[in-house]
Amino acid sequence: MACKLSVNVNAIAYLRNRRDVPWPDLVDLGRIALKAGAVGLTVHPRPDERHVRRTDVPALRDLLRKEFPGREYNIEGYPNERFLKLVEANQPDQVTLVPDIPGQSTSDHGWNIGENEKLLRRVVNRLKRGGMRVAIFIDPDPAQPAMAKAVGADRIEIYTGPYGGAVWPKVKREFDKVVATGRAAAKAGIEVNAGHDLTRENLPPLVAALPNLKEVSIGHAIIADALQFGLGETVKQFRRAINDL
């Protein structure tokens, strides 16, 4: 099965929130991305609502459920009680647990699962009882996938920021870490997602090296390229980069 693309709409929401106006509209642009073949949409509603707002979450849920049944909704965030109640109310297909602190500008590290085992085990069990698939955001570290499996997660999401932002020769070292982590996940029997600073240029070697890569969640690079190519065409170009078109 080919790797699939989930479009993160946080950057669209961030642009909207620069003005007290309702555009660009997340639902309209989410529809364009889905019509272009994205497997689903990703949101990361942070406590200060500087991009995706709590009111956006059900609006995008309704878009997916009513107009694109079978596509996936992925909600990312730190699992405090407010976040957990939000996802339980909206029933996404996947919840990605991220260790962000409240004021963090963007995700820049994964969980240390060993230090957070009790929390993660409790949260994963709660979400899975609600029928949601659970992914844990991790750094590229081959020791982490088996630990994620042990706390009950269905998937890991490998943080690819160091790979995406690297230049030669560091890029090869970071690429090798991601690949080693993905291969360790295959051995541990846990599925693999990836995200952060992934582009049309750096995706193909990653997809080629990790046939078990299920999904990539991409926002910033898609919106940047959409300024040049349009959102629908950009989604198609990213799908070509992951051999999904």
DSSP class of residue 168 equals T
What is the pLDDT, as a whole number, of residue 103? 64
**Alpha carbons 82 and 186: distance in angstroms, whole number:** 33
Two structure tokens written together for 11: 């950057």
Sign of the dihedral defined by the CA atoms of residues 118, 120, 125, 126, in that order? positive
Dist CA 80 CA 242 (whole Å): 33
Cα dihedral: 205, 209, 212, 213 (round 10): -30
User: What is the residue-level pLDDT of the chain in tens, covering all 245 positions?
Assistant: 689 999 999 999 999 999 989 999 999 999 999 999 999 999 999 989 999 999 999 999 999 999 999 999 999 999 999 999 999 999 999 999 999 876 666 667 899 999 999 999 999 999 999 999 999 999 999 999 999 999 999 999 999 999 998 877 899 999 999 999 999 999 999 999 999 999 999 999 999 999 999 999 999 999 999 999 999 999 999 999 999 98
Which pLDDT score is estimated for 2?
87
Distance CA 136, CA 124 (A): 9
pLDDT of 192 reads 98
Q: Which of 16, 103, 102 is closest to 53 using CA atoms?
A: 16
3-state secondary structure of 59: helix
Burial of 157 (0-12, 13-18, 19+ CB in 10 A): buried
Q: Where are the alpha helices (DSSP H) in the chain?
A: 10-16, 26-35, 56-67, 81-90, 117-129, 144-150, 161-164, 170-188, 203-209, 220-229, 231-241
pTM: 0.96
Q: What is the structure's pLDDT at 104?
A: 60
Task: Examine the residue annotation and report whether 76 is marked as an active-site residue of this protein.
Answer: yes
Contact status, residue 229 vs residue 237, Cβ threshold 8 Å? yes
Catalytic residue list contains 233: no
Identify whether 220 is a catalytic site residue.
no
What integer pLDDT is reported at residue 108 of this predicted model? 73
Please give the domain boundaries of the chain with CATH numbers for all domains: 4-241 (3.20.20.70)
Choosing from 44, 51, 174, 215, the catalytic residue is 44
User: What's the CA gap between 66 and 15, in Å, rounded?
Assistant: 26
What is d(CA 32, CA 233) in angstroms, rounded to the nearest whole number? 10
Question: Which is the catalytic residue, given 51, 174, 191, 196?
Answer: 196
| pLDDT for res 64 | 98
pLDDT at 105: 61
Amino acid sitting at position 11: A
Q: Do 174 and 137 touch, CB atoms closer than 8 A?
A: no
Angle of CA points 47, 106, 28, to nearest 5°: 75
Nearest to 41 by CA among 94, 105, 119, 81: 94
Q: Which of 72, 76, 157, 174 is catalytic?
A: 76
